[in-house]
Structure formats: C-alpha cells, structure tokens
Amino acid sequence: MDEDAGSMERITRCGAGGVVTKSIGLEPREGYPNPTVVELECGILNAMGLPNPGINNFEDEIKNLKKSNVPVIGSIFGSDKDGFVELGKKMQSYGADALELNMSCPHAKGYGLEIGSDPDLVREITKNVKKSTKIPVFVKISPNLANIVEIAKAAESAHANAIVAINTVKAMKIDLELRIPILSNKIGGYSGKAVKPIGVCCVCEIAKNVNIPIIGVGGITTGEDAIEYFMAGASAVQIGSGIHYRGVEIFEKICIEIESWMKDHNYNKISELIGVAHI
C-alpha cells in the first residue's frame, strides 16, 4: 500500500495481484510532524496522520497505475457521508476498479474510528457510496472495537461488496528517558507480525456472521500467514508492513510458499481453505 504510482507499479511486477492506494481525502493533508514512525520489537508503530495530496491531485497517479494491468483499489477517508460520496465518484471517474472506505484509522481526529465505531454511520456512508458509484465497495474496519461484528453486519446490510479486516491496533510507546510518548501524536497504529493473531481472530468472528467476502490484513509475512487468514475465513489478503521485513519480492515469495504448502497438503484451490478452521 502506497500512494506513489512508481512504487506501486514495482510491486505489481513482483507478483501482487492488485494494489491499494494510500488513503486519500478531499483536501491535501500534510499529516503529523515527526516522529511519526518507530519500529518496535515485533512490529511498527506509526501516526502519520493520513498525509495525502488530496483527491483533485490524484488523477494522474490512478491513470499511471492503470498501466500495470492489475486491479487498483482506491482507498478514501472522509468526515461525513457527503465527503465519502464525492471521493468515491472521483476515484471511479479516475479509473479505480474498486473503493476501500477507510473508517478505521486509530489516530486521525475527526475521521477513522469516530465514524467506524458507529453502525448507523457505517451503514449510511456505505449505502450512499454504493448508490452513487458502480464499482465494488469494500469497508475497512478496526480491531479497536467491542462491536466489530455489528460494524461488519452494518456494512453488509448497506450492500458492501467486501469487508477489509483489520486496520492497525491502537498503541503507544513511551521514551523512558524523556518520560513522554515517542510519537508526536502520542497515540499511533501498531502493525506488523504482532497483530496477526488479532487480525486472524477478527476475520474468523466476522466470517461467522456475514455472507460477503473478507479481505484479511495484518502481520502477513509468509505464505503460511496468508493460509491462516484463509482458514479463518478470508477470501484474499493484503500485505503492507510485510514489505519492510522481506522487501517488495515478498509477493512472489508468498505466492510460491502458498503453492508449496497446498501441494504438500493436497489442496488444489484456495477456495478449499476458506473458513475450514471454523468450529
């Protein structure tokens, strides 16, 4: 996941089956001042603050990405229904193949969790974006919720085409010498290997309660990680921080590892794995 077309094109050459843009809003946004990222023992903590060039400056990026001949999923964030609708329309007009509604950023005031924790808002926004666009709509939800299944159901009831689970986990790191949080925003989102069990659990809970596809996200660095998500109920997976651990070649490596595992365990199709761990 990135917002630069050149780096995303490189990812597609390394075996990714599609790309998700960084989340784009109505207006340009600088994000938070440094420090915004810190690597921890088992993951990465960030509070970027949703920096982006604004939707009106993103058309060329989408058009350049379309040259790579893989699906382009435009991620968007807004503060209300009208904002999401406008963003969705523009992403569609630029050529995006699908929309990802980011309602789950844990550290951006006025966006993210303030919207994504309210089932009625999730339902209203999803319903209106669906009405105003013709491309598939995916709803990205947060693990930082007690009612994650209710949120997934709200998206499904508004005819979302898929659920994306999960976004980063709300977290903090304190500098012992300075006695203050390391990130300038104090609170950030934790990603990487440590969040995989959380993501797998969320996907499993959601899959038992909705009938639309789920895209699993969080801590995937190997083919076996991806297979674990499939067994929990995901139909596809996204890889973000895994690039940090294994480079852009991670996509090709994971595809090879999935194929090898399936061959060793007598599986012919990924669909045979989806949800098999449900009890």
- Show me where the domains of the chain are located: 5-266
pLDDT for the residue 153: 98
Q: Specify the length of the chain in residues.
A: 279
pLDDT for the residue 55: 98
Question: What is d(CA 207, CA 213) in angstroms, rounded to the nearest whole number?
Answer: 8
Dihedrals phi, psi of 9, to nearest 5 degrees: -65, -40
pTM: 0.94
Place of tokens 């699906």: 71
Least confident of 5-9, 100-104, 116-120, 186-190: 5-9
The mean per-residue pLDDT over the stretch 216-222 comes to 98
The mean per-residue pLDDT over the stretch 30-43 comes to 94
**With bands split at pLDDT 50, 70 and 90, how would you rate the model's confidence at 198?**
very high
Residue 2 reports pLDDT greater than 50 = no
pLDDT for the residue 109: 67
pLDDT for the residue 112: 64
**With bands split at pLDDT 50, 70 and 90, how would you rate the model's confidence at 237?**
very high
- One-character DSSP codes across 152-177: HHHHHHTT-SEEEE--PEEE--EETT
- Catalytic residues, by residue number, are 105
Q: How many CB atoms lie within 10 A of CB 128?
A: 16
Question: What is d(CA 246, CA 249) in angstroms, rounded to the nearest whole number?
Answer: 7
The mean per-residue pLDDT over the stretch 63-91 comes to 94
The mean per-residue pLDDT over the stretch 177-206 comes to 97
Q: Which CATH number fits domain 5-266: 3.40.50.620, 1.10.3720.10, 1.10.10.10, 3.20.20.70?
A: 3.20.20.70
The mean per-residue pLDDT over the stretch 83-108 comes to 93
Residue 132 reports pLDDT greater than 90 = yes
The mean per-residue pLDDT over the stretch 179-207 comes to 97
What average pLDDT does the structure give for the chain? 93
Measure CA 142 to chain center.
10
CA distances, 270 to each of 18, 188, 211, 250 (Å) = 17, 34, 18, 19
Closest CA to 126 of 238, 1, 136: 136
